[in-house]
Amino acid sequence: MGVFYEVLFLLVLGVIGIVLYLKHLYTFWEKKGVYVSSKPHIIFGNAKPLLTGKGAIRDLFKEVYDDCRRNSQKMSGFYFMMKPCLVLADLDLIKDIMSTDFEHFTDRIFHNHESDPLSDQIASAKGEKWKQLRSQLTPAFSIAKSKMMSQKVLAYTDKLIEELTHNYRDKTIIEISEVIEKYMIRLTEAAIFGMENDQIYGPTTEFEYYLKCFFNKSPLDLLIALLTFFNPSMLTYVRARSVRKDVGDYFLKLSADIIKFREENNIVRDDLIHLLIQLRNNVDINETSGQIRQESKIKPLLSSSQIAANCLIIAIADYETLASAISFCLYELALNPDVQERARREVVDVLALHNGDFCYDVVNELIYVEQCLKESLRKYSPSAAHSRECTKPYIIPNTDILLEPGTHVFVPTSGSHMDPNIFPDPERFDPERFSKENCAGRHPCAWTPFGFGPRMCIGMKYGMMKSKICVAKLLLNFEFSTNHLTEIPITVKPKAFITKSANGIRLDIRKID
């Protein structure tokens, strides 16, 4: 009996100790004098809805942002379980951290180490390594390259229209996000890996299967993702993988095979993998034209596995975001027939000025279509938040709050994008918000679907070009409208990394003859 009470006493003491320790951890921000928008849960901190799969990141961060604005706070402490992070709610402070004082926040919070070959890519690269990689990859997204790639985009969009026409000549309900996702994957396959497809529809290719598996995480993968957050160095120690083994193996082999085949057969192509092979072979490329300038003096950064890692992450960054952007834009155009008609009229008029030739200048002249896309990126930003890791001690301007290296900082896009003081009546879809006049006085960090500062999206112009071509050509050929299966308002998938509809986007399409 005595032993029983001793064990019980020790257990109770242990539990009390743990509870007190956790409570102590949750006073981190309080002690620094930083406001915390809601009381943290003892296990999950402020991330309970995310960790239990009940809420979407965009909703959670929007609540934090809104609460800060109501209470005149520029930021809120946030506990991701026990890890103290900071959520920003002030546009000037966002600008400072993402741009003016970028040197203190050069990194994102992803794992990046040579022991994990597929983690070694631009989106997770850190410090100097990132700077070099970014400047070496920039030519791949030059205006000249974009112009060249527009030919491929036009060709694939024509294939999409041909197949939609064939399958849906009469007014029919389609799940538009599925269709657009398939089209984007085919385009990515061709533009990045040089693998052309005759069909948009058709059976799932191996490439499509593995690309879509990128975000399908097993419980072990999820544990690894959590560890990245708490202790990235431990991941290096246990030689963990950031990408599922079968997905990683597929892309490593695919890239190695393409490189070998091209080098043995002296094949030159206009895709991204070709540019990366040139970088590996120490060729310096002109930033604006995308042309070879000379043998580079810089030591080549890329190994074969780094080529695979960069191609894979760019494929993901490319197809997922654009499929989301285009699908939500078509959804809003279906809900707003007047806007749809005005956008269609613009495409018809601009094309008429170019004698029906859908050249690159047409893309640049589609001002209203661009406004529609920007407005839909405001309402449904594919990325719910931008992340930065503090890399050098930083005192938040006009305060004595010191951020230590390793602090994670989040910028919620859903906060400012849906702030009625910045975008009045934020639920309303109104492309006029992005007219030249209406943008003129707006804070540069009010609308940041592509991020902000030196680390903003490298593919922004290229992505806008692709989405404009797709939306414009679809509008020329089809009319989109809602039906009894269209979800209004739409539910966003809680666990998705990129903003997606939870139940699909069902629209009527009708061919315009």
Residues in binding site for heme = 457
DSSP string, 446-483: S--TT--STTS-TTHHHHHHHHHHHHHHHHHHEEEE--
Does 279 sit near ligand HEM (CB under 6 A)? no
Q: Which stretch binds ligand HEM (CB under 6 A): 296-304, 444-452, 469-477, 485-493?
A: 444-452
Does 452 sit near ligand HEM (CB under 6 A)? yes
Does 510 sit near ligand HEM (CB under 6 A)? no
Does 248 sit near ligand HEM (CB under 6 A)? no
Contact between residue 293 and residue 145 where contact means Cβ atoms under 8 Å apart: no
Report which of 94, 31, 155, 14 is spatially closest to residue 422, judged by C-alpha positions. Answer: 94
Q: Assign 407 to helix, strand or coil.
A: coil
**From the CB of 264, what's the least distance to ligand HEM, in Å?**
27
SS (H, E, C) 292-337: EEEECCCCCCCCHHHHHHHHHHHHHHHHHHHHHHHHHHHHHHHHCH
Does 321 sit near ligand HEM (CB under 6 A)? yes
How many residues sit close enough to ligand HEM to count as binding (CB under 6 A)? Answer: 23
Contact between residue 494 and residue 500 where contact means Cβ atoms under 8 Å apart: no
Cβ proximity to ligand HEM, 57 vs 458, nearer residue: 458
Does 383 sit near ligand HEM (CB under 6 A)? yes
Does 362 sit near ligand HEM (CB under 6 A)? no
**From the CB of 27, what's the least distance to ligand HEM, in Å?**
30
> E strands, 165-314, where?
172-175, 283-285, 292-295
Rounded Cα–Cα distance for residues 314 and 459 (Å): 9
Phi/psi for 421 (5° steps) reads -75, -20
Q: Which of 64, 91, 122, 472 contacts ligand HEM by CB under 6 A?
A: 122
Does 207 sit near ligand HEM (CB under 6 A)? no
Cβ proximity to ligand HEM, 129 vs 392, nearer residue: 129
The strand order across the sheet containing 172-175 reads: 172-175, 506-511, 478-481
**From the CB of 211, what's the least distance to ligand HEM, in Å?**
13
Rounded Cα–Cα distance for residues 311 and 123 (Å): 11
**From the CB of 325, what's the least distance to ligand HEM, in Å?**
4
Q: Which stretch binds ligand HEM (CB under 6 A): 60-68, 221-229, 348-356, 457-465?
A: 457-465
Does 385 sit near ligand HEM (CB under 6 A)? no
Does 412 sit near ligand HEM (CB under 6 A)? no
Annotated binding site, which residues? 457
**From the CB of 406, what's the least distance to ligand HEM, in Å?**
18
**From the CB of 397, what's the least distance to ligand HEM, in Å?**
20
Q: Which of 75, 174, 243, 322 contacts ligand HEM by CB under 6 A?
A: 322
**From the CB of 451, what's the least distance to ligand HEM, in Å?**
2
394-395/83-88 β-pairing: unpaired
Q: Which of 374, 455, 468, 473 contacts ligand HEM by CB under 6 A?
A: 455
Beta-carbon contacts of residue 398 (< 8 Å; ≥ 6 apart): none
DSSP string, 108-156: -SS---TTSGGG-STTT--HHHHHHHHHHHGGGGSHHHHHHHHHHHHHH
Residue whose token pair is 């032993």: 3
Query: Rounded to the nearest 5 degrees, what angle is found at the Cα of 376, between the Cα atoms of 375 and 378?
Result: 65
**From the CB of 458, what's the least distance to ligand HEM, in Å?**
5
385-389/283-285 β-pairing: unpaired
Residues from 131 through 190 that contact ligand HEM (CB under 6 A):
134
Q: Which of 47, 160, 451, 509 contacts ligand HEM by CB under 6 A?
A: 451
Residues in touch with ligand HEM (CB under 6 A):
122-123, 134, 314, 317-318, 321-322, 325, 382-383, 386, 449-452, 455-459, 462-463
